[in-house]
């Protein structure tokens, strides 16, 4: 096992106007499960391929432990990679697929059998060692691909969206198995996904990327509760955070008639950058439905456009008038209640629970002080 370090690592493809990965600085601790997450084209898979030696590094360095592996071929990096499509040999049995890399490396047959048997026991594949891939389910093939990586006993596991070909139920089950397996083996793991729910539930830490640039690194709780900028706030969380660009007023900000006071620290920061607006972030669960008849409770009036009833909770996709424009607002409501399309509701929000971002830089504004 070993740590992984990206030191200003950059990859610029020919004819591209900007780097696919731009001066990436990232430290991954020995034994850590690090998840790289972001939208399609953000550079997360390129980062993984740079670490694997499948993509060149145009500048900067990559280290595994104390070794500079920036320009080493893949076979000399002591890594094992699990791909999205599993890449199993169709004419080989499960046991042969798992042990093939060891056979090529001329490992003794007894050691190959022992390692394959140990990996099969860990992954619950003992009864499938004689089967070929065509007779295995998608989840079983994924575990065979995992077993092929495990038997190599590498310093680092690399996983490139290994669950994307599985159905929803099996994906949930398998991601739990992978996280549990990684804890048991203690092998440093770098996992790439576009699914932010996977990122939050699997990783020790999460690295959020956009346009080749690292936006934030932190524990799932840190990234969710204190997003570094509006992009991270809007990307992490399901459904996504509601974001509103609002003008500053003498009393704070006005969200469609719902006036929210702002912390002095946020007001000072906006004033220092010469901004007359802020970006307000409110997660769906931070809205509370209040009575429209209660004139003493201020709120934002919304109209229900669609109802997403998941059983435990209901997500209301609504429209509200914010300023002179109509804004889409997602509200989480208890699942035990029923709502109709076209229904008019009023929602309130705790001003201390919202997120504030700069309208000029999108960076998080300080909110440590009490609201004015």
Segment 45-54, tens digit of pLDDT? 999 999 999 9
Among 218, 214, 196, smallest CA distance to 205 is for 218
Model confidence pTM above 0.85: yes
In the CATH scheme, what is the code of domain 4-231? 3.40.50.300
Q: Is the pLDDT of residue 296 over 50?
A: yes
- DSSP states of 56-100 as a string? --SEEEEEETTEE-TT--GGGS-EEEE-TT----TTS-HHHHHHH
* pLDDT-wise least confident of 168-177, 221-230, 342-351: 168-177
Written out in words, the top-level CATH class of the domain with range 240-358 is: mainly beta
The tens digit of pLDDT for each residue in 125-176 reads 999 999 999 999 888 888 898 899 989 889 999 999 888 877 888 788 888 8
Residue 372 confidence (pLDDT): 39
> How large is the average pLDDT for residues 17-33?
96
pLDDT above 50 (res 371): no
Lowest mean pLDDT among 61-65, 167-171, 193-197, 353-357: 167-171
What count of other Cβ atoms lies within 10 Å of the Cβ of residue 154? 20
* pLDDT tens track for 306-346: 999 988 899 999 999 987 889 999 999 987 788 999 999 99
In this prediction, residue 49 carries a pLDDT of: 96
Q: How many angstroms separate the CA atoms of 234 and 78, rounded? A: 37
b (16+ CB within 10 A) / e for 87-110: ebeeeebbbbbbbbbbeeeebeee
Strand partners, 33: 189
So where are the chain's domains? 4-231, 240-358
Confidence at 368, pLDDT banded by 50, 70, 90 = low
pLDDT of residue 262 exceeding 80? yes
pLDDT tops 90 at residue 293: no
Residue 131 three-state SS: coil
Report which secondary-structure segment, H or E, holds 190: strand 188-193
- pLDDT over 90 (residue 235): yes
In the predicted structure, residue 18 carries a pLDDT above the cut 70: yes
Q: Residue 135: CB partners within 8 Å, gap ≥ 6?
A: none
Q: What is the Cα–Cα distance from 324 to 300, expressed in whole angstroms?
A: 14
* CA distance linking residue 88 with residue 165, whole number of Å: 14
Residue 60 has pLDDT above 70, yes or no: yes
Which are the contacts of 260, defined by CB distance < 8 A and separation ≥ 6?
252, 253, 254, 280, 349, 351, 354
The number of beta carbons lying within 10 Å of the beta carbon of residue 296 is 5
Instruction: Read off φ and ψ for residue 331, nearest 5 degrees.
Output: -125, 135
Give the end-to-end CA distance of the chain in Å, rounded to a whole number: 51
254 strand-pairing partners: 259
pLDDT of the residue at 24: 97
CA distances from 246 to 123, 160, 256, 321 (A): 52, 39, 10, 12
DSSP 8-class letter at 283: -
């Amino acid at each position: 096992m070993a740590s992984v370090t990206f030191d200003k690592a950059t990859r610029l493809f020919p004819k591209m106007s900007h780097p696919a990965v731009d001066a990436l600085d990232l430290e991954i601790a020995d034994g850590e499960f690090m998840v790289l997450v972001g939208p399609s084209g953000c550079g997360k898979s390129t980062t993984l391929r740079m670490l694997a030696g499948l993509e060149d590094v145009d500048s900067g360095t990559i280290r595994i432990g104390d070794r500079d592996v920036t320009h080493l071929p893949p076979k000399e990096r002591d890594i094992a990679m699990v791909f999205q499509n599993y890449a199993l040999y169709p004419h080989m049995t499960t046991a042969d697929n798992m042990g093939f890399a060891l056979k090529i490396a001329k490992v003794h047959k007894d050691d190959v059998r022992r390692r394959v048997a140990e990996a099969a026991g860990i992954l619950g594949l003992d009864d499938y060692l004689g089967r070929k891939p065509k007779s295995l389910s998608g989840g079983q093939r994924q575990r065979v691909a995992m077993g092929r990586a495990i038997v190599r006993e590498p310093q680092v596991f690399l996983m490139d969206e290994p669950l994307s070909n599985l159905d929803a139920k099996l994906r949930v089950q398998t991601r739990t198995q992978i996280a549990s397996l990684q804890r048991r083996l203690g092998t440093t793991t770098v996992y790439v996904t576009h699914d932010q729910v996977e990122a939050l539930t699997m990783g020790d830490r999460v690295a959020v990327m956009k346009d080749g640039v690292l936006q934030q690194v932190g524990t799932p709780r840190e990234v969710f509760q204190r997003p570094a900028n509006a992009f991270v706030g809007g990307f992490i969380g399901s459904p996504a955070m509601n974001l509103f660009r609002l003008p500053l007023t003498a009393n704070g900000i006005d969200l469609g008639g719902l006036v929210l006071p702002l912390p002095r620290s946020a007001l000072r920061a906006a004033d220092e950058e010469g901004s007359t607006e802020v970006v307000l972030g409110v997660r769906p669960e931070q809205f509370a439905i209040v009575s429209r008849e209660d004139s003493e409770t201020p709120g934002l009036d919304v109209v229900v456009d669609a109802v997403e009833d998941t059983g435990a909770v209901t997500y209301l996709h609504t429209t509200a008038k914010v300023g002179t424009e109509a804004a889409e607002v997602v509200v989480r409501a208890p699942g035990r209640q029923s709502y109709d399309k076209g229904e008019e509701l009023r929602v309130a929000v705790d001003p201390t629970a919202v997120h504030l971002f700069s309208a000029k830089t999108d960076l998080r504004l300080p909110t440590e002080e009490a609201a004015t």
